[in-house]
Amino acid sequence: MRLAKYLAQCGISSRREACRLIEAGRITLNGKIAKHTDPVLLDAKGRSLDSICLDADPILGTEALDYWLLNKAVGTDCRLLEGDKSSLLHLLPPTPRLYPVGRLDKDSRGLLLLTNDGELTHKLMHPSFAHSKTYHVKLDRPFTDEFIGQMASGVQYKEVRTLPCQVCRLSEDKFEIVLTQGLNRQIRRMASALGYKVIDLQRIALMTLTLDSLAEGEIRQLTPQEVVTLKASVTTIDYSSD
């Protein structure tokens, strides 16, 4: 098995973040700085026969997979920084190690999935899978129907043109948008390019997951049925060659 995939299965991080850890030289394999191409040798039960460390701390193997949902409040930072009092890290249970699937800006709020399932994280975050995220957005002033059409057809800013998406009006200054892209601060930059400022941005759904009655700032485990439904909704791709 490829090293990054094994690290993701151990709950260390998503597969993409595991690649960054390897590239940064923070992973050692049998006492040597690991490379992306290094394979991990597994026994019949899928346990590593190699000695693998992160920052000199041994990686002991796979963890039981866990899935949590947070209704993030404005002001919570999604970066897992122990020294930052606003960090998401301080809201998480001590074990297992959970990581956010994607991020919400510090000044945004709403649904955030947290898990140690690196494979699911990879499938939900990789742009080629085009999974949906739904947001409610309030602007600084009323907008026109032309604005809705422009947002839906794609907006040009800097060197980027966003993909077509679903947009519908909720009120004179609020709309719902469903994205399948994950560009940095995408909605804020789309609105800004059209002359508006976002004053409230809330993610209300990720694929089959919704906030329902979860209060702002609260966190809960997904039910077994929610996990099954979410995984069933994710496009299945064969990673056996990885």
Positions marked catalytic: 105
Q: What is the enclosing helix (H) or strand (E) of 229?
A: helix 224-233
Q: Maximum CA pair distance of the chain?
A: 62
Q: In what order do the strands lie in the sheet with 32-33?
A: 32-33, 27-29, 52-54, 57-58
**Contact call for residues 116 and 126 (beta carbons, < 8 A):** no
DSSP code, position 222: P
Nearest CA-CA partner of 67 in 86, 93, 105: 93
CA distances from 91 to 76, 79, 86, 142 (A): 9, 12, 9, 36
SS3 (DSSP) at 152: helix
DSSP code, position 16: H
